[in-house]
Structure 1
Amino acid sequence: MQRFIVTLLVKLLPLCIAAQHGTIKGQVSSIDGNPIEFANISIQELITGTAADGNGKFEITKVPEGDYTLEISAIGFETKNQSIQILANKTLEIDIVLQESITSLQTVEILGIKERSYSNDVSFLGTKTATPLLDVPQSINYVTKELALDQAAFRLNDVVKNISGVNQYSFYNDITIRGFRVQGQRNSGMLVNGMRAMTSFWKQQLIPHIERVEVIKGPSSALFGNASPGGSINRVTKKPLAESRQSISSTVGSFNTFRTLGDFTGSISQDNSLLYRLNLGYENSGSFRDLQFDKNLVIAPSFSYLPNDRTRLNFDIVYQNSQGRLDRGQAVFGNGDLYSVPISTSLSAANDFLHEESVNATISLRHELTDRISFNSIYMRSSYGEDLLEHRTANTFATLAEGNKDPEQVEMRVFIRKRNWDNDGFNNFFNFNLTTGPIEHQLLIGYDYFQQLLQPGGSQLEARGYLSADGNSAINSFDPTNASAYMLDQNGNPMPNVAHFDLTDPNANALRDMSNYIYATRYYTQFRQRNHGLYIQDQLSINKLKILIGLRQEFFFDELNYDTDEEQFEEQRALLPRFGMVYSIQPNINVYATYVEGYEPQSADVANDPNVGGPFDPLTSSLLEIGAKAKWFNGKLNTTLAVYQLQQQGALYDANDANNPGLLVQIGEEESKGIELDLAGSINQNWSIVASYSYNDAVITESDNTEEIGRQKPNSPRHTGNIWTKYLINDGALKGIGFGLGANFVSERYGSIVSNDTPPIFPEYQLVDAAVYYKVEKFQLQVNVNNIFNKTHWVGGYDYIRAFPGAPRNIMTTVSYTF
């Protein structure tokens, strides 16, 4: 009997033990309904736990019966403690919602922020502090890395279509915002982490290392000094995270596209005081354009050091190397028929090349002196080098014997050029959180410095024009009344120094014999530009009312022939005010109004050069804007509605003078008025969306040429619209499958102004894109089809010799793995 009882106990004991345990399973998500991947879930009393998967789901088994405290934490979110009760043989299903931690977003963006959706609630761009976008009295729109990945975007120009009032001007690093141009190399609207950095003008900026792209609409001179009146574009680089995360992806597709990306981050030290992140990107791609290709390399390491709770130091480098050819656009027959020449036709020769190299190095420091006072210091060193050989248009058709033009032959010229720039940016400011009676203040006082230096040796060989009668020199243009001064062919036509590009010749892109060209040398004399800025800003909070007051004193110095006996010095100054108000009419709805003035000096080499039509006055601008910002669906969806009036005085335009291709003209006044609507975020956990619409009436209001008054500004469509939506299936037989669908609309646009002539009109277009996603655990397959209906369209252009067609239908397939 005793033996029987022992045997029975041995058999029943495991069952009794098992009966005293339960299971916890659930999902961790943010307040906007998006899953928080890799969140940490722990049971405090048992010192055990797990991590959520890529979909925010978790499960803990064999938990003894009893009462416990569940702790859930994730970088960028408030840690949450929740009491739970485990019952024997039961599964506790629980959904955890974490609140994003605003306090963890330091006044300078040093640490990584774990965005997981198309929405972003906080920005440093509008105030230089971590301010909820709802409380910034100015329109700020953005594209997160999640949206860029879902659309298989690789360049800045690929994503700006998602933002109202923003569109391409050309193939270059060249964009319009509210009808005003923002260009690379002007240092007037292209920012990296809120700092001005030297960028290429010829190639669009790569974004594999970018966390998000932000656009602040209107002049931001009160914050950054020299700024484009239309707005500024800020690229926020990816920063280190404390938790280990690695991902790799590869994309193959149309036009012989191959891309591969890597993103690695985590902690180097056991106490998480030293963090790292490494982003890598490589591209080797062709194009739908003849002879065009891109070979790009991006290496972007970043390190964060947190010695204590009050001090944070970040160091990051972005190295970019680009090889390809400069694409000056499509030329069509002189009758102006955009469809008369294939959109694949470029004017390049097979021996052309463009090699660019850039390095950005940044050191950022934030230190909390007290609980209410912090100090921030940022230094950025950026360099850019250009090595170029190109056959390009002379901006006119070939001249015939009688002085008339041949509509099938494009006059050409050749540039061989090398230049190198170095930029230094230094920004220091204090933040004070103060209280005076019922008023809370967030006071900002700072000083910044920016310097751009063109290094010695910058020079260019240029071959252009028509050969002289003896063949020993070249004359820029042909004068039929003095034909004897030129070398003529058997038909009496002048002989070009560089052979014309024949639009009917299928071999026009062949190797060119450059040995007989007659060159003129242009020297880019060394110059230095410097900006000093003193600024103060106060954000006041009085119950539901917030007021922003800012003032900046700007000092601009331009030095031509720098460090030589012929040095020329020019100084300009500007006092730049900013004023805005935000009022909360509902907890989720704010209305705002703002007034800000802008300033953009003309560089001294342009302003004082009589060969290009100078001297020219500096650009000045002002913005008046009112609008509303709101959150919907429990904070999941952000919306912005803006109505604005923007004015600028002093813009320069190409005069399109065949005898002097560099000649510019200054327009008296331009005005942009319009309305914009943007929304971004989620309808629910599975359904994400971005959409925008813009009506922009951007016209010339004052000009010496009366025919220009009232004309729409170049590459400034009156109407643009965009929508992109993505739906993921998380349950059932189709679990892991997702679908994306989008459309983009742009109305007709003028090209650049041509003096005494009507500028070309580029037709409106509507494009449709789609995507399919399949995700299993840490593996995802993604297929994007762009321009599904193969719509022929032009994204912008100058004239009928420099039109910029958009890509035809193309397919991109991406495979990614996170581990």
Structure 2
Amino acid sequence: MNKIIIPCVLLSGLCYGQQETSDSIKSANIDQVEIIGTKSVITDKSESVGRIPLKNLENSQVYTGITSRLITQQKIYNLDDVVRNAPGISKGAEGWAGNVIYGGTEYTSRGFQTQIKALNGLANNIAVVGDIQNVSKIEVIKGPSATLFGSIITSYGGLINRVTKMPYEQQSLSVDMSAGGFNFGRVGVDLNLPVNKEKTLLSRTNIAYNNQGTFTDNGGYTQNIFVAPSFSYQLNDRIKIDLNTEFNAQKVSGMGSNVMFTLTPAVLKQYVAALLAGNGVPASYISSVTSKMPSTIQEGFGTNSVSDFNLDRKMSYYDKNLVSRSTTLNLNGNVEYKISDRWKSLTLYKIHAGQR
């Protein structure tokens, strides 16, 4: 019997791969074709999206689940780059470097803005860590989901749910190290360790240290340390207790946010007119003043091109002595009670805080 084994990678339910065959083996005399695929990098089911364990085809909600397997393959270290793998969503306003506070970076999904404000299916709109060291998968959920997640963390465009890694029974250790330009360096550690011999108490600790410089001339940098221990305790055959914690400390020097020029001549003209009118200035005088003001950038500066201003793109307008520090803490616990083989009760509790 002639048999061909085709290795492939599973992506969105499809198998992508190729196999060269010799002239002696043709499609006419092949008795069996065996396709061996690696595990999919896109999740095919979720308990958080529909609040019940449904497969993609069983769930009417449109979503994309990006697993840690794809994150590892692409060498991604922040949430912004992870979300880029989801179709139909684009990045909008920037968040703070290395950390996402109060939802942070904004994304546009189906024409509406949304943010990363869900953690393991719960609202987490105060402090969300931007590091992916303890991320198991990212679920980008399209469309309105307020009935399942609440209106605080979702919009008409949907929401983004961050699912963290959980302990398991095998002992394992994973270390990841990366280095790059502008003094970039990162070390990540993932340690899973059963605590007792019965393996009813499990622990998993994720630690990451990240240092990133800048291309500008001020010597700015971002330093970030992230520690995320998690525990799982099987109290008996029916009750299981999980505890997830995240602590993130960040130091940023000379890495300010983007400078945006929003005070255009037209905006200034409207502002001056409203200011004068609010102080009781006659309309005729206001019209006389505003008529002498430029209405376009061309009229005000004599050019429409930024390159004509001769700005040095490698010069920073922030001094490296301007240092900001922030710390965030997330604590999530849940108790799972197995009612029967088909039903279970889940009670969740969370504490999150941030300081800047």
- TM-score, scaled relative to structure 1: 0.31
| Alignment of structure 1 residues 502-581 onto 2, 5 Å | none
Tell me which residue corresponds to 2:237.
309
Give SS of 1:134's match: helix
CA distance in structure 2 between the partners assigned to 1:162 and 1:282 by the alignment: 24
Tell me which residue corresponds to 1:337.
305
Tell me which residue corresponds to 1:298.
226
Q: Tell me how far 1:32 sits from its aligned partner.
A: 5.5
1:350/1:96 CA distance change after superposition, 3 Å? closer
Cα deviation per residue 1:3-58 (whole Å; 9 max; x = unaligned)? Answer: xxxxxxxxxxxxxxxxxxxxxxxxxx99969xxxxxxxxxxxxxxxxxxxxxxxxx
Q: Does 1:212 align with 2:131?
A: no
Q: Does 1:357 align with 2:280?
A: no
Q: Does 1:177 align with 2:109?
A: yes
Cα deviation per residue 1:430-471 (whole Å; 9 max; x = unaligned)? Answer: xxxxxxxxxxxxxxxxxxxxxxxxxxxxxxxxxxxxxxxxxx
CA distance in structure 2 between the partners assigned to 1:176 and 1:315 by the alignment: 32
Tell me which residue corresponds to 1:367.
337
Matching residue's letter, 1:124: E
CA contact (8 A) 1:219 1:230 kept: yes
Tell me which residue corresponds to 1:157.
80
Cα deviation per residue 1:226-252 (whole Å; 9 max; x = unaligned)? Answer: 122211111111110111110111111
CA distance in structure 2 between the partners assigned to 1:200 and 1:290 by the alignment: 31
1:134/1:298 CA distance change after superposition, 3 Å? same
Matching residue's letter, 2:93: S
1:149/1:342 CA distance change after superposition, 3 Å? farther
CA distance in structure 1 between the partners assigned to 2:318 and 2:125 by the alignment: 26
Q: Does 1:278 align with 2:210?
A: no
Instruction: Name whichever structure is richer in strand by fraction.
Output: 1
Matching residue's letter, 1:223: L
Matching residue's letter, 1:318: E
Tell me which residue corresponds to 1:319.
247
CA distance in structure 2 between the partners assigned to 1:330 and 1:214 by the alignment: 31
CA distance in structure 2 between the partners assigned to 1:275 and 1:137 by the alignment: 35
Cα deviation per residue 1:721-744 (whole Å; 9 max; x = unaligned)? Answer: xxxxxxxxxxxxxxxxxxxxxxxx
Q: Tell me how far 1:310 sits from its aligned partner.
A: 2.1
CA contact (8 A) 1:127 1:136 kept: yes
CA distance in structure 2 between the partners assigned to 1:268 and 1:248 by the alignment: 20
1:248/1:355 CA distance change after superposition, 3 Å? same
Q: Tell me how far 1:383 sits from its aligned partner.
A: 0.4
CA contact (8 A) 1:302 1:314 kept: yes
CA distance in structure 1 between the partners assigned to 2:256 and 2:93 by the alignment: 10
CA contact (8 A) 1:330 1:344 kept: no
Tell me which residue corresponds to 1:134.
57
Cα deviation per residue 1:774-799 (whole Å; 9 max; x = unaligned)? Answer: xxxxxxxxxxxxxxxxxxxxxxxxxx
Give SS of 1:159's match: helix
Cα deviation per residue 1:268-313 (whole Å; 9 max; x = unaligned)? Answer: 2222211110000001111234544211111000011113332211
In structure 1, stretches of 5+ residues that fail to align are 1-28, 34-94, 99-114, 184-188, 387-819
CA contact (8 A) 1:362 1:378 kept: yes
In structure 2, stretches of 5+ residues that fail to align are 1-6, 12-33, 96-103, 262-296
| Alignment of structure 1 residues 656-675 onto 2, 5 Å | none
1:159/1:317 CA distance change after superposition, 3 Å? same
Q: Does 1:124 align with 2:42?
A: no
Cα deviation per residue 1:551-596 (whole Å; 9 max; x = unaligned)? Answer: xxxxxxxxxxxxxxxxxxxxxxxxxxxxxxxxxxxxxxxxxxxxxx
1:145/1:344 CA distance change after superposition, 3 Å? farther
Matching residue's letter, 1:159: V
Give SS of 2:80's match: helix
CA contact (8 A) 1:364 1:379 kept: yes
CA distance in structure 2 between the partners assigned to 1:123 and 1:338 by the alignment: 48
CA contact (8 A) 1:198 1:384 kept: no
Matching residue's letter, 1:167: S
CA distance in structure 1 between the partners assigned to 2:36 and 2:199 by the alignment: 25
| Alignment RMSD (CA, Å) | 2.9
1:130/1:355 CA distance change after superposition, 3 Å? same
CA contact (8 A) 2:186 2:208 kept: yes
CA contact (8 A) 1:366 1:377 kept: yes
Tell me which residue corresponds to 2:166.
239
Cα deviation per residue 1:290-340 (whole Å; 9 max; x = unaligned)? Answer: 544211111000011113332211011100111114522146896553555
1:32/1:165 CA distance change after superposition, 3 Å? closer
CA contact (8 A) 1:331 1:341 kept: no
1:170/1:31 CA distance change after superposition, 3 Å? closer
Q: Tell me how far 1:346 sits from its aligned partner.
A: 4.0
Give SS of 2:242's match: strand
1:233/1:336 CA distance change after superposition, 3 Å? farther
CA contact (8 A) 2:222 2:250 kept: yes
How many pairs were matched up? 274
Give SS of 1:208's match: coil
Tell me which residue corresponds to 1:628.
none
